[in-house]
Amino acid sequence: MASTVICHSLNPLSSSSSPRGPSSSHAKNSCDCSLRRHVRRIFLSSSTLGRRISTNGASRKWPINKSYRSGSTCFAASSPSALPSALLFDCDGVLVDTEKDGHRVSFNDTFAERELGVTWDVDLYGELLKIGGGKERMTAYFNKTGWPEKAPKNEEERKHFIASLHKQKTDLFMVLIEKKLLPLRPGVAKLIDQALAKGVKVAVCSTSNEKAVSSIVSCLLGPVRAEKIKIFAGDVVPRKKPDPAIYVLAASTLGVEPSSCVVVEDSAIGLAAAKAAGMKCIVTKSGYTAEEDFVNADAVFDCIGDPPEERFDLAFCGSLLEKQYVS
């Protein structure tokens, strides 16, 4: 089944307040070109064309907020006819945009404290993010550029060296989280609350260290939500994203079918993992992933969003399971 990609800007405006002058028309034409490259035709039922869903046997239109300045389109519905069995979130870049000012800073502080003479700038770290997992990221970098003078010489000792660096980096990162210096992304708490209220299982599936992920969930989402959220992280599986192992494990542990799960990811490797596990996947782009290829995603947004700038809700997640989007 072909996927639908829905593009959004960071600052959507309602159509009633959108400018109608030449600049607005130019922006709209620009976005229309982008949409033509990405958006498949949408058929929301076998008998009715257009943006409609079936609710308790009745036909209901999606409320759509369209900005002519940005060309953004928001999808939300209050009464889904289906719900996911589980809603699975990546952590870094999805719950919190942690990479540039969180993980990268913590890696660099660790390298400095160990006097390794290594610094990862913003662009370099963006490239390194194509490798899933912090330990794997450091190993790949040192294998390519050369190991620091203070690093051990044999392979087994280097594994322990990398593990010790990663533990130190995680401790530094957790300080940032505990101080709440990195906020939740818009709409995250709202969507999790909607899922928990409807009895939908919620989990976080991440290649990051389990302690770091647990700290983000408990500190930023609060202890009440944290008690209800299952965490799959770090070395809980032998192969990390883009391998689907972590999502397969999550579905098995939660006792749900992969095909009934909806994943929220922000990266191409996360998307690949979710789709390989047989799950629906919504991408919410983050600072480092905005230009990545998400053609296989079921939907793409700039964020989840809180009202009045909500991009999608739990009902939209459920609609993806109804095979309403076909080419």
Helices (H), the chain: 22-38, 104-113, 122-128, 134-145, 155-178, 188-197, 210-221, 223-226, 245-254, 268-276, 314-319
Give the CB-side neighbour count of residue 310, counting CA atoms within 13 A.
Answer: 18
90 part of the active site: yes
Tell which residue, 94, 89, 77, has the closest CA to residue 318. 77
Catalytic residue among 32, 92, 235, 293: 92
Residue that is written with structure tokens 């009902």 in the block = 315
In this structure, the number of other CB atoms found within 10 A of the CB of residue 148 comes to: 15
Written as one string, the DSSP assignment of 186-246 is TTHHHHHHHHHHTT-EEEEEESS-HHHHHHHHHHHH-HHHHTTEEEEEGGGSSS-TTSTHH
Q: What is the Cα–Cα distance from 89 to 195, expressed in whole angstroms?
A: 12
The answer to whether 101 is a known catalytic residue is no
- Separation CA 170–CA 166 (nearest Å): 6
The answer to whether the CB of 38 falls within 8 A of the CB of 99 is no
CB–CB of 269/130 below 8 Å?
yes
Select which of 90, 243, 266, 313 is catalytic.
90
Catalytic residue set:
90, 92
